[in-house]
Each structure stands twice: as C-alpha cells, then as structure tokens.
Structure 1
Amino acid sequence: MANTILLALAPIFFVMALGYAAGRSHYVENHHVDGLNALVMSFALPASLFAATASAPRAQLLEQVPLFAISSVVMLVVFLGWYFFQTRSPGASKPDASLQALTIAFPNLAGVGLPILADVLGPAGTIPLAIVLAAGSIIISPLSLILVELNDPKKRASAEAPRTRVRTALRHALTKPVVLAPAFGILFALCGLKLGPVIGASLLLIGHAAPGVALFLTGLVLSAASFRLDKTVAVATVVANIIRPLLTVGIVMAVPVSSETANVAILLAAVPSGFFGILFAVNYRLDSAAIGSMVIASTLLSAVTLAIAIAVLFPH
C-alpha cells in the first residue's frame, strides 16, 4: 500500500517541484504564465476531456449524474460558506472573498486530480474527472466571476448596468474551452456519435500533455506567490483539505449512490485547492498573495490528506 501511494503521489509532487524550482530560479518566467495557461486550459485539457467524454458509452455517462450532483452541491456549499464568512470579517472585500471561495471550493482537478485518477483508475478516470471539472466550471467559476464583476469598485463606478456585468461575466466563464469541451463531448456521446480512430488519436496526442504541463504550471504559479501563514490561510486549508472531503462523505452516506461513485467523489474532494483564483486575481488586480498562500498550504498538506484518502478509499 505504501508503495502504491508513493507511485501515485511522488510523480505529482516531483513535477510541481520542478515548476516551482524553475520559477524561483527565474529559469522560466513565473509572473507571466499566460502561454502555459493557454496551452493547458485552452488546448491540452479540453482536448483530453472532449476525447474522454465523446468516446464514452452513453450508459457510462448517465452513470456519472450522481457524481455531478454531489460534487456540485459540495463545491457550492463550501463556496457560499467561505464567501459569507469572509464578507462578515473585517478587512476582506467581496471580490477578494469571492476568489478565495473559488480557490477553496474548486479543487486543482487539472493539475492534481487528473494524474491521481489516472493512477488509481487508469484511463477510465478521465470521464469522472471531466464531469466534476464541468460541474465546477459551469457553476462555481461563473458564480465567482459574477460576484467579482458586481462588486468591482471600478465597474460599479462606470455607467455599465449590473445586468450587463452579469451577462459579461457569464459569457467569459461559459465560453472557455475547458467548459465547452466536456459539455460538447457529453452531448456528442449522448447523440450516439463516434469520434473515429483518427480524430480520437489526434485529440489524445495533445491531450496527453495536459497532466504534466498542468502540474508544472501549478508549481510555476505557486513560485510567484509570497507565502504567509496566518489564521485565514490556516482555516482555509482545513476547509479545503479536511472539511470538503468530510462534507462529501456525509452526502454520499445520506444518499443512495454506488461505492465507486462515492469513492471517486470523496477522492476528488480531497484534491488540494486550485489556482484559478490566483489567475483571476491577477487579471482583476486583486489580492493574490492570500490566495497563493492558501494554494501552497493546501498543496503541502495534501501530501498527507491525499495519501490517507487513497489508502482508505482504494486499498487495492
């Protein structure tokens, strides 16, 4: 078991450490990661997710509906809980609270979740990951961007109506390739269409780059963040690494789902905080230091929490 966990986690943290070292040594620019981010989020990961969902049997996709529902509820509860907690705390603006909530609620599925499921479940792990990633991308990311747009002082001072800002935020969030790819892939499969070997192989060739580059990008992004461990960061780390998976445990015990769905939902809920909040904070010129510290602390603690989750959920 120890060897299995080591084989699953060591490559992940090794590649993230490479990205971190490359950024800290300035061998790779860590303040302008738009190119690598575009490669992962606009090309490699969407290609992998579309290929996985579009080639899946219709029955297999329908089996993922409970996973979509459970993951959506968990992420939404964590998001709203942290947002309202922070907005009632002194010194935290609503846009900052929104991006912190996004960071805590939406795990790093692209960087850590994908290789973890690939190791634990094999190629079949891409389909449930695509479903959970779609849930976060369709529900949590747009909600976060809407709250930022509505509470951005510059936008509020402009003549642009709140309804227009909401539409703009929704358009920006829902037209991203990482959102559209699994959605179109699911529709493609439900319609009974087939990719064909040539198209499938072409998509998988670029899609195979997604896990490694996403992990390297995660380390690169973390290398640009200044780390500070305060009470807010500590609480956020506990919520992301412990409360989020425990909340998932409570839900799967309360509703009738298969053991496989329950185990995958819990394991993906144990994945550390994602870095979307950092990228959005940079774009909106908000406080990315606190969010970066949350991601670093969550990623470090996940070496323990993920090992426990794998040992308990997938003992063989």
Structure 2
Amino acid sequence: MSIGSIFLTLIPIFFTIILGYLGGYFKVFNADASKGLNTLVTKFALPAHLFIGITTTKKQTLIDQWSFFLTMTICIIGFYIILLIIARTIFKYDLTSASMFSLNSTQPAFAFMGISVLGSLFGAQEVAIPIAITGIVVNALLDPLATIVGTIGSKEKSDEKSNTLGIILHGLSEPLACIPLLAVVVTLLGFQAPDILKTTLDQIGSVTSGVALFAVGVTVGIRKINLRGVAIGISLLKVVVVPLFMVLVAHLVGLNHADTVKAILLVAFPGSAVAAMISTRFDSLSTETASSFVLSTVLSLISLPIYISILM
C-alpha cells in the first residue's frame, strides 16, 4: 500500500482532530467542556460500544483463534507491563502517570484503520476475526487493566490509608473496566447480543470514534501540541518498538506467516484516541498523550508502507 493510499485512509481521522483542535484553539470548548466530552466517551459511549463489539463476537472465534489471541495478549499486555515497570523504576513516574504512559505507548488505533488498511491487503472478510480478537484484548484486558492501575495510583495520592482491595474494586467499578470484562464473561458463557440490544446500545456507542477523535483535538487545541520528550518517546515506542516486540512474540508462539503479518500491522498502527482520552480522564500526561496520538499518526505515513513492503 502506497503512502498516498494510507494518507487517504487517515484523512477522516485528521479532519475530525482538526475540527476539535480549532474548537479548543478558538475557545469554543474550554477545559470543562473537554472533560464533559471525555466523560461522555469513557463512562457512556465507549462502554456501550465495547459491550456490543464483544458480545457480537462468537465464542467459537476465541477458541478457533487461540494462538492469535495468545500472541496479541502476550504482546499487548506484556509490553504494557514492561513499560509500566520501567516508567515506575527508572523514570520514577507515579503509578497513574506510568499507567497512562504505558497504555498510550501500547494501544493501537486498530478500530480506525484495521478494515481500511488490512482489508485492502487481505480482504475485509479475511481480517474481520483478527481485528475482533485485537479488540477483545485491547478493550476487555488492556483498557480495564490500565484503568484499574490508574485508579489505584490516584487513590494512593489522595488517600494513603485506602485499602488496596477497596481501591481495586473501585477501579473495577469504572464502566470502562467492568463492562468489557462482563462482556467477555457472558460471551464465553454463550451469550450473543440480540439485534434489539445492539440497536439500542449503538445509539450511544456509535458516537465513540468521532467524539474521541474530536475531544483529542480539543485537548491539543486548549493545551497546545507538545512535540518534545514524552510525546516523542510514546510515538516512537508505538510505531517502532511495539511492532518489533510483536515479531519476537509471534516467533515464540509459532504463529503462521499470514497471521504474523496481520498481528504486526495491527500493533503498528498509530496510537489510539481512546487511550489519549483515558489519560485525560485521569488528568495525567493528557497534553503529552494527545500530542503523541497526532505525532504517531503522522509517523505511520512513513512506517506502515515500510512494514508492508518488508512483510508482504
């Protein structure tokens, strides 16, 4: 796929971000309004979207694609944990900041780009299951884990005497943590969301992508783009280091070549607007993560064609 083709895929993403940026830059949206958009996404729209996305995935999909699921889990969750430890022990970040740094360095924008980019390479039907599995790993495991760790960090800073179990339970009570986990459990038990439930929750869940991108633009417009230090580090980890880590994991698991290519490209996509949104939710590295989302998207115009030319 040429740089031009990838750029065409990214035009809707950039357009929505730019609209949000202009809204923030010209003070149409202030910090309170930005937090309101964040609350809409993280507490209402995104949980509804995730529940339907997971519960419309067949139980047998997870069973038949266990090696791909294992590969994505080891790479995504493993890389998050590795970075979390490094951020805490070497860079001395507090727990919430370490979690947000690790989340944004790991989570790919697979939902925005997967069908467009991978579909043009393999066919939309061929990549539907890998994208769905990646969604389960990210939405049901990574985001809840990062949310719980971020909540623990926030509680530790505000109340050092808080009970650890209570903090974890509080983190699990966050819609972004408990709803995807519940969806995985009921799916494994054989539940499939009926059409009426899907239609109902889609009324709010369908706004997730657009509002999340718009809100990231608002955040950048209010706080200005930060193209130094942390933002650059997150961007390079996302588009360079994570794909290389996936090469190692896929080799160790023994994934076949076609699935290896899909796995590498899925994690090579730029950072996620949802991950940046979660950082804003915790008011931790929000400027840096929003900036890294924009920067990693620009860098992917260079990195993705290189990966595709090497792998295909």
TM over 0.5: yes
Q: Unaligned 5+ residue runs, structure 2?
A: none
Does 126-135 or 86-95 show the bigger shift? Answer: 86-95
1:248 CA drift (Å)? 1.0
Match 1:139 to one of 145, 166, 171:
145
What do the CA deviations read for 1:51-92 (whole angstroms, capped 9, x no partner)?
Answer: 232222221132454444333433444334444444455775
Structure 1 residues 261, 18: CA separation in 2 closer, same or farther (over 3 Å shift)?
A: farther
Structure 1 residues 8, 299: CA separation in 2 closer, same or farther (over 3 Å shift)?
A: closer
d(CA) in 1 for partners of 2:180, 2:293: 25
Partner residue, 1:155? 159
d(CA) in 2 for partners of 1:16, 1:182: 26
Q: Unaligned 5+ residue runs, structure 1?
A: none
Matches within 5 A, 1:128-277: 128-133=133-138, 134-147=140-153, 149-150=155-156, 152=157, 154-156=158-160, 160-161=161-162, 164=163, 166-259=164-257, 261-273=259-271, 274-276=275-277
How many aligned positions are there?
A: 299
1:45 CA drift (Å)? 2.5
d(CA) in 1 for partners of 2:172, 2:266: 22
d(CA) in 2 for partners of 1:64, 1:143: 29
Scaled by the length of structure 1, the TM-score of the pair is 0.77
Q: Secondary structure at 2:114's aligned position in 1?
A: helix
Structure 1 residues 308, 179: CA separation in 2 closer, same or farther (over 3 Å shift)?
A: farther
| Residue pair 1:15, 1:216 contacting (<8 A) in 2 also | yes
d(CA) in 1 for partners of 2:76, 2:252: 17
d(CA) in 2 for partners of 1:306, 1:139: 28
Match 1:114 to one of 111, 114, 120:
111
| Residue pair 1:16, 1:218 contacting (<8 A) in 2 also | yes
Does 230-239 or 18-27 show the bigger shift? Answer: 230-239
d(CA) in 2 for partners of 1:183, 1:90: 31
What do the CA deviations read for 1:100-126 (whole angstroms, capped 9, x no partner)?
Answer: 233323x2x5xx331212434559366
| Residue pair 1:95, 1:148 contacting (<8 A) in 2 also | yes
Identity within the alignment, %: 24
| Residue pair 2:46, 2:205 contacting (<8 A) in 1 also | yes
| Residue pair 1:226, 1:289 contacting (<8 A) in 2 also | yes
Does 49-58 or 87-96 show the bigger shift? Answer: 87-96
Structure 1 residues 148, 271: CA separation in 2 closer, same or farther (over 3 Å shift)?
A: farther
